[in-house]
Amino acid sequence: MKIAVMGGDGFVGWPTSLHLSDAGHDVHILDNLSRRWIDTELGVQSLTPMDSIQERTRIWHAETGRRIHFNLIDLAKDYELLKKWLAEERPDAIIHFAEQRAAPYSMKSDRHKNYTVNNNVSATHNLLNALVEIGLDAHLVHLGTMGVYGYSTVGAAIPEGYLPVGIETTEGETVSQEILYPANPGSIYHMTKCLDQLLFQFYAKNDGLRITDLHQGIVWGTHTEQTRRHPQLVNRFDYDGDYGTVLNRFLIQAAIGYPLTVHGTGGQTRAFIHIQDSVRCIEIALNNPPARGSRVEIFNQMTETHRVRDLAEMIAKISGADIAWLPNPRKEAAENDLIVKNEKLLGLGLQPITLQGGLLEEIVDVAKKFAYRVDRSRVPAVSAWTKDIARTINRDPEGKKLKSVS
């Protein structure tokens, strides 16, 4: 297939582009490189050294003989350019990663909230709008989040997208209906993903677009089969308090002798997936498109769930690291259970990679190799969900501030 990967320079977009190119597809990356600009804004860089997207694709071609094409297009702002590219290239499938992906970043300030909404919602709508306008019947695969469901405990497994409900009619009878699982976003970022769901529902119903929405868990890991082939193909690795995912952050903290930062009780239960499984799931979704005119296909793209404190205690036991129990910058329940159905991807052949010592050690090895690139002051999570919470944030988990003499 000819596949357009929107946001193909990013944390999941880059290994996905390599995986699909390696499988024989004609891959075209469309990206505005905003994640690189955010590195500059935040004053923090990927733990792993990243070359330019042009150099990355050159190395891939040199190693494999296969080309990945790059196009500098901002989906949220360059609507006419996007529409022109789609009309000329007419890809068979489109993978949509082109959204600001960090909940903490989306809550940093009013400016960051506005940017996340404007970027994410406009990018999604511009893409859908353009597909309809040019009459392109491409299968759209979107990387969503488990966070659309929220993290409240209802005592039942979260279904894959749709919830069967009984509705009482005016005659007193009960009729059955399937609705989108009630959205319960926990941040501005998660809210944009909930809005994406409604946009997809409308365009599938109104215009017959073929759409798959992948509700993904937290991604962990560093390498995929393809990123291992050359040092310059390495994926980005975020460790900072805004973009670093919790398990990767714990592992780098252990590697550099930094306390494992657990916020609140650590009773937050989250869904996880390894980066290699993430790219496999996307390929499975591409190979199983919904029929034109059918409702949006939704997969829960996760392989296991864990409590944050259990992860911290496991890594502390392996590494000897200390745990720092800190105030929670997020406005969320202190404890939650999370039971998730994920039978669809398993039924289509996914064989999950679960938490294993070898893979955890691999991340620690990467962290130790590039530890000289770590700015320890950027490790704490300091983006607060409300102004009241901001007053409680601990910005010094290592306790290295100068103490007054008394």
Q: Where does 246-403 have alpha helices with state H?
A: 246-255, 275-286, 308-319, 343-347, 357-369, 387-390
Q: Domains plus CATH for the chain?
A: 2-230+272-304+336-354 (3.40.50.720)
Instruction: Take residue 177 and report the two structure tokens written for it.
Output: 């209906």
CA angle at residue 142 from 138 to 145, to 5 degrees? 165
Q: What is the spatial distance between Cα 139 and Cα 95, in angstroms, rounded to a whole number? A: 8
Q: What is the spatial distance between Cα 248 and Cα 18, in angstroms, rounded to a whole number? A: 22
Instruction: Take residue 205 and report the two structure tokens written for it.
Output: 């119903």
Residue for token pair 């935040």: 42
| DSSP-derived pairing of the beta strands 162-168 and 174-180 | antiparallel
- The sheet carrying 304-307 orders its strands as 218-220, 269-274, 304-307
Q: Please report the pLDDT score of residue 337 as a whole number.
A: 87
Distance between start and end Cα atoms, the chain: 71
Question: What does the pLDDT look like over 24-62, one tens digit per residue?
Answer: 999 999 999 999 999 999 999 999 999 999 999 999 999
Q: Please report the pLDDT score of residue 356 as a whole number.
A: 78
Minimal CA–CA distance to 375: which of 47, 37, 28? Answer: 47
Length of the chain, in residues = 406
Q: Write the CB contacts of 46 (distance below 8 Å, at least 6 apart in sequence).
A: 39, 236, 237, 238
Q: Please report the pLDDT score of residue 355 as a whole number.
A: 86
Contact indicator for 5, 97 with CB cutoff of 8 Å:
yes
Q: What is the spatial distance between Cα 85 and Cα 48, in angstroms, rounded to a whole number? A: 32
Q: Please report the pLDDT score of residue 361 as a whole number.
A: 85
Q: What is the spatial distance between Cα 140 and Cα 5, in angstroms, rounded to a whole number? A: 10
387 catalytic per annotation:
no
Phi-psi region of 155 (alpha: psi -120 to 50; beta: other; left: phi over 0): left
pTM of the predicted model over 0.85? yes
Residue for token pair 């809005």: 195
Instruction: List the catalytic residue out of 105, 116, 192, 193.
Output: 193
Digit-by-digit pLDDT tens for the chain (406 residues) are 999 999 999 999 999 999 999 999 999 999 999 999 999 999 999 999 999 999 999 999 999 999 999 999 999 999 999 999 999 999 999 999 999 999 999 999 999 999 999 999 999 999 999 999 999 999 999 999 999 999 866 778 999 999 999 999 999 999 999 999 999 999 999 999 999 999 999 999 999 999 999 999 999 998 999 999 999 999 999 999 999 999 999 999 999 999 999 999 999 999 999 999 999 999 999 999 999 999 999 999 999 999 999 999 999 998 999 999 999 999 999 998 889 999 999 999 999 998 876 788 888 889 999 999 999 999 999 999 999 999 999 999 998 865 555 4
Q: What is the spatial distance between Cα 36 and Cα 55, in angstroms, rounded to a whole number? A: 15
Q: What is the spatial distance between Cα 40 and Cα 372, in angstroms, rounded to a whole number? A: 18
Question: What does the pLDDT look like over 169-217, one tens digit per residue?
Answer: 999 999 999 999 999 999 999 999 999 999 999 999 999 999 999 999 9
Instruction: List the catalytic residue out of 57, 145, 245, 261.
Output: 145
Q: Please report the pLDDT score of residue 406 as a whole number.
A: 46
Q: Please report the pLDDT score of residue 131 as a whole number.
A: 98
Q: Please report the pLDDT score of residue 402 as a whole number.
A: 54
Minimal CA–CA distance to 41: which of 252, 247, 261, 240? Answer: 240
189 catalytic per annotation:
yes
Q: Where does 65-144 have alpha helices with state H?
A: 79-89, 103-106, 110-134
Contact indicator for 12, 143 with CB cutoff of 8 Å:
yes
Phi-psi region of 290 (alpha: psi -120 to 50; beta: other; left: phi over 0): beta
CB atoms within 10 A of CB 117: 17
145 catalytic per annotation:
yes
Instruction: List the catalytic residue out of 79, 115, 151, 189.
Output: 189
